[in-house]
Amino acid sequence: MRAARPILPWVVWGIAALSYAVAIINRSSLSALGPAAQEHFGIDATTLAAFPVIQLVVYAGLQIPVGVLLDRIGARAMILIGGALMIAGQAAMATVPEVSLAIVARVLVGAGDACTFISVMRMLPEWFSLRQLPTISQVTGLIGQSGQLVSVVPLAVLVGGAGWMGGFLGLAAVGLLVVILGVVVLRDAPGEGTLLERITGRRGRVTENARSFADSRTAALSAVQPPATEMIPVISEVRVRGLGFWNRARRLLRLPGVRLAYWVHFASPFAANVFLLLWGTPFLVGGLGLDEAAARALLSLTVVSSMVASVVLGPLSSRFIERRVWFNLGITVAIAVVWTAVIVWPATPPLALVLVLLLILPLGGPASMIAFEVARSHTPRSYAGFGTGLVNTGGFTASLLVILLIGLVLDVQGAGSPEDYSLHAFQVAFAVQIPFWVLGIVMIVVEQRRTKRWMEDNGRTLR
């Protein structure tokens, strides 16, 4: 008789992915509310940019510390801690009267967001086989993008109808519900209990009988297992108390495949993050002259495009594993080319060009997920959380720098508030993205060649 396929991996993954979707809603909660936030707090463009910039500084800065904690206390604990921090942050955002306190609220949101994604990614290999992981990773990203879709339209409508306080308190309530589900369902690995079971001291039959798809590994797939920790070069240095964190980072970055994963994540997602987290609505409304309803519809189009790309890229990167980095590079180049065309267009860009931009721009998010597949192939298992956090800083470091630079360039041109926005000012401001694309593309090509040589020297293959 054929053994029944386990259901628990899908349930655990579903709640983990839902937690990630809520984190994306929290992260993107100002994406369609930029003008509303300026009106609510009475702030200029640079101050508005400070909200997501500080949030992303916290997010990026905590990735490696969170990775260290992840390796020590597990993914379940980190996902729940992240959810609690975001609930506190959005409750504060709903109620604080001053900009300084609102920024503290965004710090809490950024800290909670930092705990979520890499914890979800760290949990997946415990429940799914290597052959399933690329597709599962992309579908996880797709579910996260659905959270962005919520932040674009429903959240804006909710804030418009229930007011600023009602909208953000509603968002905090959704986060609380998902955390409660996580307490009941999430497990780090088969056989390990939920937080509820640990609190009550009782383990249920579901936990006792838990099985994973990751148990069966074929010989053909063993080649893509992470390398042994001993393959990390030893750095000869004086041991100084408190520097273990940096020593670990330096050792890990000696692996060219880890550096490649970092630059893959650096180059592709920042343009979409910049557009969807903050500057998309101001550009469409204040730059192109669209009304807010049309702008929200177009932002929704970008999210749908990203979701479709997630469905396609997962199987492609799984089947054509040797070419996965080139998929990312091709998408990054396409985004850079189309954005540059919009930037240098001498008048209002034609609608067809804008639509092409909004269809291609969001592909960078799913393409960035390839970075974690690259990292998984080259990061020793004992460094898995640390390595995932390190790679995840790439795109978000680029994003926060570009978001801040755009706000500064708008203010320098005297176009830092909604009544002063202009197409030319936005074109000049968005041009700050170009050096970041150039740097990312060059480093991907360089590190890809170094990684290929390293694998040949060490007798490793991707199959």
The string of DSSP letters for 95-110 reads H--SHHHHHHHHHHHH
pLDDT at 252: 83
Q: Is the pTM of this model over 0.85?
A: no
Mean pLDDT of 194-214: 83
Q: State the helix-helix crossing angle for 423-430 and 384-412, rounded to 10 degrees.
A: 140
Nearest to 86 by CA among 111, 64, 104, 69: 111
Cβ neighbours around 452 below 10 Å, total:
15
pLDDT at 20: 93
Please report, in angstroms and rounded to a whole number, the separation of the first and last CA atoms in the chain. Answer: 32
Cβ neighbours around 406 below 10 Å, total:
25
- What 3-state DSSP class applies to 445? helix
Amino acid at 240: V
- What 3-state DSSP class applies to 421? coil
Amino acid at 320: F
pLDDT at 16: 94
Query: Percentage of residues in the chain with pLDDT exceeding 90?
Result: 29
pLDDT at 324: 87
Residue 93, both tokens:
């955002």
Q: How many Å separate Cα 365 from the centre of its chain?
A: 8
252-266: per-residue pLDDT in tens?
888 888 899 999 999
Nearest to 264 by CA among 333, 328, 335: 328
Amino acid at 418: P
Residue 386, both tokens:
């640390």
pLDDT of 230 strictly over 60: no
Residue 133, both tokens:
């992981």
Measured at the CA of 368, the angle between CA 409 and CA 284, to 5 degrees, comes to 40
Q: Are 267 and 332 in contact (CB under 8 A)?
A: yes
234 or 67, which is more confident: 67
346-371: per-residue pLDDT in tens?
989 998 999 999 999 988 988 888 89
52-74: per-residue pLDDT in tens?
778 878 887 888 788 888 888 88
pLDDT of 2 strictly over 50: no
Report domain extents, the chain: 8-212+245-457
Backbone torsions φ then ψ of 42, nearest 5 degrees = 65, 55
Rounded CA separation 271/60 (Å): 16
Place of tokens 């065309």: 341
pLDDT at 276: 80
pLDDT at 175: 94
311-332: per-residue pLDDT in tens?
787 777 777 777 889 999 999 9
What dihedral do alpha carbons 452, 455, 457, 458 form, nearest 10°? 170
Residue 253, both tokens:
């970055």
289-299: per-residue pLDDT in tens?
888 788 878 88
Q: Judging by beta carbons within 10 Å of its beta carbon (0-12, 13-18, 19+), is residue 308 exposed, middle or buried? A: middle
Query: How many contiguous H segments (helices) and E segments (strands) does the chain have?
Result: 21, 0
113-168: per-residue pLDDT in tens?
989 988 998 888 888 887 788 788 878 888 887 777 777 677 778 887 888 888 88
Place of tokens 């992981």: 133
Measured at the CA of 67, the angle between CA 61 and CA 69, to 5 degrees, comes to 110
Residue 281 DSSP symbol: H
Residue 74 DSSP symbol: -
List all residues 6 or more positions away from 84 whose beta carbon is below 8 Å from its beta carbon: 112, 179
Q: State the helix-helix crossing angle for 370-378 and 324-344, rounded to 10 degrees.
A: 140
pLDDT of 218 strictly over 70: no
Residue 63, both tokens:
């990735």
pLDDT at 117: 86
Mean pLDDT of 301-307: 80
> Over the chain, what is the mean pLDDT?
83
pLDDT of 449 strictly over 80: yes
Q: Are 367 and 309 in contact (CB under 8 A)?
A: yes
pLDDT at 432: 95
For domain 8-212+245-457, the question of CATH label 1.20.1250.20 is answered with: yes
Measured at the CA of 146, the angle between CA 172 and CA 405, to 5 degrees, comes to 80
Sign of CA dihedral 120, 126, 128, 133: positive
129 or 173, which is more confident: 173
What dihedral do alpha carbons 250, 256, 261, 263 form, nearest 10°? 80
